[in-house]
Structure 1
Amino acid sequence: MGSLPHVVEDCLGIVQVYSDGSIFRLSDDQINFRNITVKDDGSVVWKDIIYNNDRNKDGKENLYLRLYKPITTKCITNKQQLPIIYFFHGGGFCVGSRTWPNCHNCCLRLSSELEALVIAPDYRLAPEYRLPAAMDDAFASIKWLQHQALSNRITYDADDDSWINHDYDRVYVIGDSSGGNIAHHLALRFGVGSPELAPVRVRGYVLMAPFFGGSLRTKSEEEGPDEPFLNMQILDRFWRLSLPIGATADHPLANPFGPLSPKLEPKKLDPLLVIVGGNELLKDRVEDYANKMKELNKDVHYFEFEEMQHGFFTNDPFSQVANMVLQEIKYFMCKTSS
């Protein structure tokens, strides 16, 4: 008699892979978010929209994005168009959602403080959908915006024009952790001026502690303390479950400077703002990424926030250090807006 299936991979108790290949995933309402509560003061309105209607024709699951718009801003008062921010959540490509309270809080704050329409797409998660599924979905979500621009609308209600007044020429991509990895690959794909998205124009990319990997450990990975939400065992597990089967952390989707990764020197990119906590396991890898990009003459701005750990902005977007991050993003947007 064979043994019963048993757990062989466990991602934070949210996703479990069994020895027979079956996968168990908690629903969002079953997850304990460790006392992270939504802080919605009513200054921002939001709604969900399906962005991949074509997928439904094939019997595949729908993917949603969440739109956030501030009710009152200087732009609205002066009848000016709002910039557009894409926010891609983190989670090692294995967990995370636009509906999670930390992601929701983060987008509420970004929309209110930066006076912007924020678009937070979900994307397919591993191990059910391994990379490049998440990259494909991220690209599709921005192509959805292009369709809205070409249709001169951004609403699913014919009589609702409250979501229309936005500037498709001032789009910014912000990604946290694995979302930061997505932002990097979108920057490579779109290039300077994002011509294939016209009339949508991406002006810059903000990478918050981008989730990159590599077969060689960095000093911060070897010596850094375990973080509340992250340690090396979790990092390694995320890569095992999210990369194509048999791939290593030097895969081009994990390591921007791996042996099989495309050469970045000839690629022309829009500006990058790279942010990391000074006490993160990923700190050295992120800093190395920023330094190498600078050596390749890319327009990179790097900021390290002392003593902060992974997810410090997303998990507490109303903190004092989060205010500092928002000021850097605001300055970056202002500098790259023309």
Structure 2
Amino acid sequence: MEASKRQETARAPALPWTVRFQIFGLVAAASVAQRLNGTVNRSFFSLVDRHVRASARPDKFGVRSDDVDVDASRGLWARVFKPSEAQSPLPVVVYFHGGGFALLSAASVPYDNMCRRFCRELGAVVLSVNYRLAPEHRYPAAYDDGVDVLGYLEKNRLQDPAVQVDLSACFVAGDSAGGNIAHHVAQRWTAAKSKSIRLAGTILVQPFFGGEERTESERRLEGVAPIVNMRRSDWSWRAFLPEGADRNHRAAHLTSENADLAEGFPPAMVVIGGFDPEKDWQRRYADLLQQKGKAVQVVEFPEAIHGFFLFPKLPDAGNLVKEIKAFMDKSKASASSA
């Protein structure tokens, strides 16, 4: 019974040919851009990674965007997505994009489109953080940038006469490497005990954690699941972690011994895909939160590949937004009654 279950799990995911074509181009470009010497050929990757500018003119759904400088001296900025107007203060989602700590941007077309959708369907103001990338900027640069963006939000409150924000309903979110960043930023922020911004929740979509051990899902889905494999994951950790560190570094490998979660660490939503080789690490992360007495909701999409949310043609991309909306509503309600 167990053998047949494993064999079934290892089948190739069923994907539309248009999605397969998009994945092929992205993976091919990433493989070439990630040089064997640990550097990135950014000029080459830019041929595939199309960027779009922010637009103060509302789109057909009434969402507008603008870029704000958080620290121009180090190139740290965020793209802010807002509705044209709002009757009451809106929750804020501070979002960290994926890309193995080394690729993509808040201006990348798929992330610009996704954050616009989040703004529209979640009824929230979204800050998409353009943190510094590895290997030029290793650990803890991305974590530092995330905390500084929260500090910027705390100080400036995204002042806009048409749209007010509710800083008691601030969510830190991210996918893949961005999910890893979201966790560490939330931990740092709550440990600092800021009173102006209350983190109502963390939303980690297929977060990127790891270790020297090879998990069952990594071995079983190697060569079967698209986008992520052990070689690319190992390259990302080598590019991000301090020189000489292995994957058991606490940035990657959270354990009951090294994960000292702050008392106010917020409720978490952890999204797991059935065809994601990293899913065993994600389950371990959710289990760790429970062991530490933190509230955690696990949402699983059995047919989802790593990065499924970037492909609107996949039904689970829409289902994810509904799950995030439900989690945010529940978290805000819990905060109001506390």
TM-score range, shorter chain: 0.7 to 0.9
Question: Could you say what secondary structure the match of 2:91 adopts?
Answer: strand
| Greater helix proportion | 2
- Residue of structure 1 in register with 2:9 after alignment: none
| Partners of 1:234 and 1:258 in 2: CA distance | 27
- 1:119 is paired with a residue whose SS is strand
Equivalent position of 1:104 in the other structure: 112
Q: Indicate the SS of the match to 1:182.
A: helix
Query: Counterpart amino acid of 1:71?
Result: S
- 8 Å Cα contact 1:214/1:258 also seen in 2: no
1:212 aligns with 209
- Return the letter of the residue paired with 2:47: Q
Aligned to 1:324: 319
What displacement does 1:283 show? 0.9
Q: What is the Cα deviation at residue 195 of structure 1?
A: 3.1
Residue 306 of structure 1 aligns to a residue in which SS? strand
Other-structure match for 2:23: none
Gaps of 5+ in 1: 1-9, 34-39
Change (3 A) 1:225 1:262: closer
1:50 maps to which of 69, 86, 92: 69
In the TM superposition, what is the alpha-carbon distance from 1:27 to its structure 2 partner? Answer: 7.0
CA distance in 2, matches of 1:294, 1:116: 28
**Which residue does the alignment assign to 1:145?**
153
Q: Which runs of 5+ in 2 are unaligned?
A: 1-28, 51-58
Going from structure 1 to structure 2, the CA distance change for 1:318 and 1:24 (only over 3 Å counts) comes to closer
CA positional deviation for 1:117: 0.6
2:126 is matched with which residue: 104, 118, 127? Answer: 118
| RMSD over aligned Cα atoms | 2.3
Decide which of 197, 200, 203 is 1:200's aligned counterpart.
197
CA distance in structure 1 between the aligned counterparts of 2:306 and 2:43, rounded to whole angstroms:
23
Deviations 1:148-184 (A, max 9, x none): 13xxxx25xxxx633x411111111111011110111
Q: Which residue identity is paired with 2:167?
A: Y
Task: Name the counterpart of 1:37.
Answer: none
**Gap change, CA 1:323 and 1:24, over 3 Å in 2:** closer
Post-superposition shift, 1:99?
A: 0.8
SS at 2:32 equivalent: coil
Distance 1:317 1:23, change over 3 A: closer
8 Å CA contact 2:39, 2:135 repeated in 1: no
Q: What secondary structure sits across from 1:26 in the alignment? A: helix
Quick check: 1:95 aligned with 2:103? yes
Distance 1:286 1:22 in 2: 27
Structure 1 residues 243 and 322: alpha-carbon distance in aligned structure 2, compared to 1, 3 A threshold: same
Q: Alignment partner of 2:93: what SS? A: strand
SS at match of 1:83: strand
- Aligned residue number for residue 24 of structure 1: 41
TM-score, reference length from structure 1: 0.81
Alignment match, 2:161: 161
Alignment match, 2:176 = 177
Structure 1 moving runs of 4+ over 4 Å: none
**Number of corresponding residues:** 296
Given that residues 17 and 23 in structure 1 are in contact (C-alpha distance below 8 angstroms), is that contact kept between their aligned partners in structure 2? no
5 Å-filtered alignment, 1:1-338, equals 11-16=30-35, 18=37, 24-26=41-43, 29-31=46-48, 41-53=60-72, 56=73, 61-71=74-84, 76=86, 79-149=87-157, 154-155=158-159, 161-162=161-162, 164-191=163-190, 195-196=193-194, 198-226=195-223, 227-257=225-255, 261-264=258-261, 267-313=263-309, 315-317=310-312, 319-337=314-332, 338=335
Q: What letter is aligned with 2:329?
A: C
